[in-house]
Amino acid sequence: MEEILVIEDDELLNDGLCFHLQKVGYHAVPAYCLEQAVSFIKQQVWSLLLLDINFPDGSGLCFAKTIRQKSATPIVFLTAKDMDQDMIQGFEAGADDYITKPFNIKILMQRIQAILRRCKSKNIECPIRSFGELTIDFEAMEVKKGNILLSLTPTEFKLLKIFCKNPKQVLTRELLLDRLWDQEGNFVDEHTLTINISRLRKKIENNSDTYIKTVYGMGYQWIKEEKES
């Protein structure tokens, strides 16, 4: 059973979210503050974190950044902060999705289901492959840069897989958005694509080693040659 930690200081809302999550088959646990959430995260591995931004004992954004440094656990922000800049900050903090209040509970359940489905998907056709300093194990969903194991979110890893399976091809933003979200029935957000590609680049590239090229006015292209096995 999927384990979901609901981190929300509004106790009535938190209890309602947990009720609906359990109703559709998840095991949901409430955390009413960040301190409590930290304690729960130390105790076990979670399938997904449903997280507000404003807490009396800290910032959900800072909390997400800390989690993302150590784990690829999916993070969904559920917050009343609905400005574009707020959403950008949420994705930069490591969010896999950003949902604003008020929200439709059925749509929320569908979006959580889609993220968890993507995380569980292991229909990988290609074996372990190497590009430059990168070694990518698609079955284990692990990426190493030299001897360092990188922490990629499920969305970043899916982007990496799309690029590796289509080397030298210019992939339009529309195509990438379709591969990432449309086939799952999710909302397509331009900000999400831009920020995830930026985060992926920062993790896999350095000043002298480029993997993803921006083709202005068209899209993106994976330019790194694959190493011979």
pLDDT at 91 over 70: yes
Least confident piece of the model among 12-21, 30-39, 45-54, 117-126: 117-126
> Backbone phi, then psi, for 127, in 5-degree steps?
-80, -165
Q: DSSP assignment, residue 209?
A: B
Regarding pTM above 0.85, the answer is: no
Quickly state the pLDDT bin for 45 (edges 50, 70, 90). confident
CATH architecture of 129-222: Orthogonal Bundle (1.10)
Average pLDDT over the chain, rounded to an integer: 86
Q: What is the mean pLDDT of residues 150-159?
A: 90
Beta-ladder partners of 30: 6
Q: Alpha-carbon distance 162 to 152, whole Å? A: 14
Quickly state the pLDDT bin for 181 (edges 50, 70, 90). low
Q: Which two tokens stand for residue 63?
A: 């909390």
Question: Looking at residue 88, what is its pLDDT?
Answer: 92
pLDDT at 189 over 80: no
Q: What is the mean pLDDT of residues 65-89?
A: 87
Question: Looking at residue 89, what is its pLDDT?
Answer: 92
C-alpha atoms less than 13 angstroms from C-alpha of 107 in its C-beta half-sphere: 11
Q: Which two tokens stand for residue 170?
A: 């210019």
Identify the residue whose tokens are 């292209």. Answer: 221
3-120: which CATH topology? Rossmann fold (3.40.50)
Q: Alpha-carbon distance 151 to 229, whole Å? A: 24
Quickly state the pLDDT bin for 182 (edges 50, 70, 90). very low
Helix, strand or coil, per DSSP, at residue 67: helix
Q: Residues of the chain with pLDDT > 90: what percent?
A: 51
Q: What is the mean pLDDT of residues 203-224?
A: 90
Q: Alpha-carbon distance 145 to 132, whole Å? A: 9
Q: Where are the domains of the chain?
A: 3-120, 129-222
